[in-house]
Amino acid sequence: MIKQFIKRIITLNIIFALIMTIYRIIFTFYYSNWSELSQYFGDLVQAFILGVRYDCAVLAYINSLVTLFFIIFWFVGNQKLFVKFVKSLKYYYTIFFGGIVTLLCIDFGFYSYFQNHMNILMFGVFEDDTKALFSTIAENYPVVWVGIGFISIFVFIYFLTKFVVERKVIGYYIEKTKIHIKIVLALVLLCVNFIIARGSFGLFPLGVDNAEISANTFINKVAINGIYTLQAAIEARSKEKDRNYIGDMGYSQDNMSKAFADFLNVDISSIDSQNPEKSLIKTTKYNKDIEEIKPNVVFIMMEALGTDLMHYNSETFNVLGEFKKHLDEDTVFYRFLPANMGTIGSLESAMTNIARLPLSQFLCQSKYAYNKYFYTGPMPYKNSGYETVFMYGGNAGWRNCTSYMPNVGFDKVIGEGSMPKEYERNQWGVYDEYLFDYILRVLNTNNNRKFIYVMTTSNHPPYSLPSGYKQPYPLELDEQLKKDITGDRTLSQMRFATYQYSCQKVGEFLTKLKNSKFADNTIVAITGDHNFWNTFSYPIERKLDEMSVPFYLYIPKKLRPNKNLDMDVVGSHTDILPTLYNISLSSTNYWATGTDLLSDEAEQNIASNCLGSIMTKDNFVIYDFASGKEKYYTWNKEKSREIVPTEQSEEHKNMVKHYKASVAIAYYMLQKPEKETEK
C-alpha cells in the first residue's frame, strides 16, 4: 500500500508539472516574437528545463505537508485514520494547486499589461482606484466566462485528484514495516522533498536571479514563473518598513555630506556637514523678459505617452495626429527616462524633485503624505506668487491626492468632480479633450500667474473613446508592425486608437493655445508617466525603448534660450522642473536633484530611475537594487537608441555612485519636513 500511495502522489504531481509546462508553452507562443527567438533556440530549451525546476519547487512546497502527514499516519499505523487522510487530499490539492493555477492565469493577464511577471505593482490593485480598475477589467475581459473558467479549474483538479489518489482507497492497508526501514524511508522522502523545494544542490536555493540565463530578456521571463516573482515582491514589500535606504546605499546618517559630495562629484570639504542639503540650492538668473511676461507654466503628464510607439508613426499608421507638427516645431528630448513604470510613482518624483525610492510604498499613501517639505516642485512658484493647481482627469481622491497635494504645495486640487457635468467620462475620468478644455478655463480665471500640473487618464484601459469622436487618421498595420506586436492584436488596435486620440487632442490643445492670448505668456511641458504597455516585447539592447517617454517643451519666443540646444542630452523626470524654473522664474532660489536640460551642465547629466536604469550620453548601467548587481553597457554606434554590453569603465563607476547617492539623498530629505528645516 505504501508503494502504491507514493506512486499515485508522484503521478499526480507529474500531471501538475505537465499542466504548468503547458502553461509555459502557451505563454511562450502567445507573447514571443519568434523572429527574435530563432537565434536563441538553445537558450529557450534551457529556459524550459529551468522552468520545470521552478515549477517542481513550487509543487514541493505544496507537497511538504502531504509528506509530513503521510509519515505521521504511517508511523501511527491506524488504517482508518490513514484512509481519511488520503480522502482529504482531494480538498487539499484542489485548494492549493487550484490557487497556483489561478495565480498563473492572473500572471498571464498581468504580463499582457506590464510585460513582466507579477511584481510589486500588484499592490497597486488595492492602492489605486480599485473600483475603476475592476470596471476596466470587466470591460476588457469576459468576466463571467473567466469566472466560469476558474471554477472549472478547481472542479477539474478536484476530480483529477480524486481519480488518481482515491482509487480502491478502502482496500488500502498498512504493511508491517520494521522501524529502522520506516525511519530511513521517512528521511529519504523528507530529503527529496526538501531538495526539490530548494531547487538546487548549490550553496544558494533556486531564486529569481537564477532565471537570467540568456541575453534575450523574454527567454529569462519564460524560465521564471509568476509564483516566484510574486513571492519576491511580497518579501520586498515586507522589508520596506525596516529598510534604511541610506545604509543600503553605503552611506551613514551621521555623514550625509559624503552622499551629497558623491552626487555632485565634488570634494566633501565643499559640503556643509550640518546642512548638506544646502549644496543643492540653486538660483535662476535674472531675466528681464521673465520679469515682464511673468509666464504661466502648464506641466502635463500624459497617461502612457511612451516614446517607442512614436517611431512607428507614418502616413498609414498615424498615431501622433496633430501633436506631430508641435513635436517638429518645438523642443523635444527623446532620450528620457520616467521615474517609475507606474503612474503615481512618476507623478510623485517629478513633483517632489527627488528620486523615487526603489521598491518603496508611494509617498502619497505613506507616512510622508502628511508632511510639508520646502523643496517640492510647486514651492518656488508658490513663493513667487503663483497660483499652484494640481489637476487630475479622474477622481481627486485617487491615491489620497486630496490630502497629499496641498502638503506638496498646491493651492488647489481639481478632479473630475469639479468639472462640468456635460464633460464625457469613462471609468477613469473625463476624456482628455475635456481636461485640456478645463486647463484653458483655469488659465482664464483671474489674473494670477499659474503653475498647473496636469495628469491625464484617457490612454488607459479600457481603451474607450468619446461617443462623438471619429478617428481622423488611418492606423493600418504593416507587416513589420504585425510581427512586433505580442499578445492580442485586437486589444493592441484599441490601444493604438486611444494613443492616437490622446496625441490628437493634446495637439489640438497646443494649436488652440498658440493661437490664443496665452501664446506669448505660457510655457507648456508635456511628458508621459511611463511607456506604452502590453503591446511589444523588448530585448535587453532596447532597454531605452522599453522605458522611455518624451519630454516636450513649448517656450514662447521671448523666453527661448539664445543658443543651439543639444537634443541628444539624457534626462529623467527629476530634470523637468529645474528646466522649467530656469525659463519661467527670474532670480529665484530652488532646490532640486535634477538638471536644467537647456543648460551647458546637461551635457554631463546622469539620468536614472527607481528601476535601476542609469544613463549618460555615452554609457548605460542596469543596477538591481534588490541584489546590488550591476550590468554595464555602451550605446550602439550603428543604432543610437540601443545598448551593447561592455566592460566596466570609470564613468560606469561614477554613474552607479551618483545613482546610489541620489537614493540616499531622497530618503534623507524625506526625513526632513519643513518645520524641522525651519528650526
pLDDT in tens, 8-37: 899 999 999 999 999 999 999 888 877 777
- Bridge pairing between strands 522-528 and 331-333: unpaired
Q: Model pTM?
A: 0.79
User: Do residues 225 and 107 touch, judged by C-beta distance below 8 A?
Assistant: yes
The cell for 87 is: 480522502
* Sign of the four-CA dihedral 195, 197, 201, 205: negative
Cα separation of 520 and 91, whole Å?
71
pLDDT at 676 over 60: no
Domains belonging to the chain, first-starting first, are: 2-239 (no CATH), 253-678 (3.40.720.10)
Residue with cell 470587466: 138
How confident is the model over 146-150, as a mean pLDDT? Answer: 84
Looking at the chain, the whole-number percentage of residues with pLDDT higher than 90 is: 65
Q: How many CA atoms lie within 13 A of 6 on its CB side?
A: 15
The cell for 228 is: 516566484
Cα separation of 211 and 359, whole Å?
20
Q: Give the model confidence (pLDDT) of 38-80 as tens digits.
A: 788 888 999 999 999 999 999 999 999 999 988 887 787 777 8
- Bridge pairing between strands 522-528 and 296-302: parallel
Q: Give the model confidence (pLDDT) of 200-248 as tens digits.
A: 887 678 887 688 787 677 888 898 888 888 887 777 666 556 688 999 9
From residue 87, give the alpha-carbon distance in Å to each of 5, 41, 162, 218: 12, 44, 8, 42
How confident is the model over 520-544, as a mean pLDDT? Answer: 91
Question: Which pLDDT band, with edges at 50, 70 and 90, does 131 fall under?
Answer: low
Looking at the chain, the whole-number percentage of residues with pLDDT higher than 70 is: 93
User: What does DSSP assign to residue 611?
Assistant: T
User: Among 537, 525, 476, 526, which Cα is nearest to 502's?
Assistant: 526
Q: What is the pLDDT of residue 48?
A: 94
How confident is the model over 590-605, as a mean pLDDT? Answer: 97
| Triad 212, 213, 215: Cα angle to 5° | 90
Report, in this order, helix, strand and coil percent for the chain, each rounded to 5: 55, 10, 35
From residue 600, give the alpha-carbon distance in Å to each of 80, 126, 566, 596, 605: 83, 44, 9, 9, 10
Residue 613 backbone dihedrals phi, psi, to 5 degrees: -85, 125
Burial 87-118 (b: 16+ CB within 10 A, else e): eebbebbbebbbebbebbbbbbebbbebbbbb
Burial 258-278 (b: 16+ CB within 10 A, else e): bbbbbbbeeeeeebeeeebbe
pLDDT at 611 over 90: yes
CA-CA-CA-CA dihedral for 459, 465, 470, 474, to nearest 10: 40
Residue with cell 493577464: 109
Cα separation of 30 and 47, whole Å?
16
Cα separation of 230 and 287, whole Å?
52
Q: Give the model confidence (pLDDT) of 151-196 as tens digits.
A: 999 999 999 999 998 876 655 556 666 787 778 888 998 999 999 9
Query: Which of 484-488, 492-496, 665-669 has the largest mean confidence?
Result: 665-669
The cell for 143 is: 468576466
Question: Which pLDDT band, with edges at 50, 70 and 90, does 433 fall under?
Answer: very high
Helix pair 79-114, 2-31: axis angle to 10 deg = 10
User: Do residues 377 and 414 touch, judged by C-beta distance below 8 A?
Assistant: no
Question: Which pLDDT band, with edges at 50, 70 and 90, does 199 fall under?
Answer: confident
CA-CA-CA-CA dihedral for 234, 235, 237, 243, to nearest 10: 180
Question: Which pLDDT band, with edges at 50, 70 and 90, does 398 fall under?
Answer: confident
- What number of other Cβ atoms are within 10 A of residue 180's Cβ? 8
